[in-house]
Structure 1
Amino acid sequence: MEEPKNANKINIDLPEDIAEGIYSNLAIITHSHAEFIIDFVKLMPGAPKAKVKSRIILTPEHAKRLYKALQDNVKKFEAIHGIIKESKDGGLPPFSLGGPTAQA
């Protein structure tokens, strides 16, 4: 008896509100012995504090799978679009939160 061709396919529902995505310009990663926690944060100029916009909790195994998938996709992206340049400041936005702001 032959196995169905779609035996390993997963049917995924993507609701409209999730499909729009959430902007984040900072990720904070912490971990324990049992899980990895990734907080996606949005930093905005002049805002009194940054906000966590989304939190993802992964098992160590799934965190490693995500790591490998990101590596693979960055390689594919760079093969098409060229090397991604990293900023010298570690990629943090060039502003302070809650501090003095420049005036023009």
Structure 2
Amino acid sequence: MEKDEQQVAENQINIELNEEVAEGIYANLAMIAHSNSEFVIDFIRMMPGVPKAKVKSRIILTPEHAKRLLHALQDNIQRYEQTFGPIKRTEEAPKFPMNFGGTMGEA
């Protein structure tokens, strides 16, 4: 094995993704807080007509990793827009209760 190939092999990380995590969790709101040593991102799911929203996942990052995440998101959004066109953004805040289209029903 050449020196470059050996260095690449030593730097690889084996990442495991189980089925439950692979399914993902839907969130349509994120709240961010920080201290001098960490950033806390709460991913929340808001549903129409429901006054209570639940935090579905909380991620805690160091400031350095938060900045790396920011740059990774910027890079991915730029590549997405090059492929699919600009992402439309409204300056208007979401209205509650949110209406996801269609009629409201009762069960």
Q: Which range, TM-score by smaller chain?
A: 0.7 to 0.9
Q: Report which structure shows greater RCO (CA 8 Å, sep ≥6).
A: 1
| Aligned mates of 2:104, 2:25 — CA distance in 1 | 30
What letter corresponds to residue 34 of structure 2 in structure 1? H
Q: In structure 2, the residue corresponding to 1:46 is in which secondary structure?
A: coil
2:72 counterpart (69, 91, 100)? 69
Contiguous gaps of at least 5 residues in structure 1: none
Contiguous gaps of at least 5 residues in structure 2: none
Runs of 4 or more, structure 1, over 6 Å off, are: none
Q: 1:8 to 1:88 in 2, by over 3 A?
A: same
Query: Which residue number corresponds to residue 61 of structure 2?
Result: 58
Q: Following TM superposition, by how much is the alpha carbon of 1:6 offset from its aligned partner in structure 2, in angstroms? A: 1.5
**Equivalent pairs: percent with the same residue?**
55
Alignment RMSD (CA, Å): 2.2
Q: In structure 2, the residue corresponding to 1:6 is in which secondary structure?
A: helix
Query: Which residue number corresponds to residue 97 of structure 2?
Result: 96
Query: Which residue number corresponds to residue 87 of structure 1?
Result: 90
Deviations 1:37-73 (A, max 9, x none): 0000000011130000000000000000000000000
Q: In structure 1, the residue corresponding to 2:10 is in which secondary structure?
A: coil
Query: Which residue number corresponds to residue 26 of structure 2?
Result: 23
Q: 1:13 to 1:39 in 2, by over 3 A?
A: same
Q: Following TM superposition, by how much is the alpha carbon of 1:96 offset from its aligned partner in structure 2, in angstroms? A: 2.6
2:12 counterpart (9, 12, 34)? 9
Q: Following TM superposition, by how much is the alpha carbon of 1:103 offset from its aligned partner in structure 2, in angstroms? A: 7.5
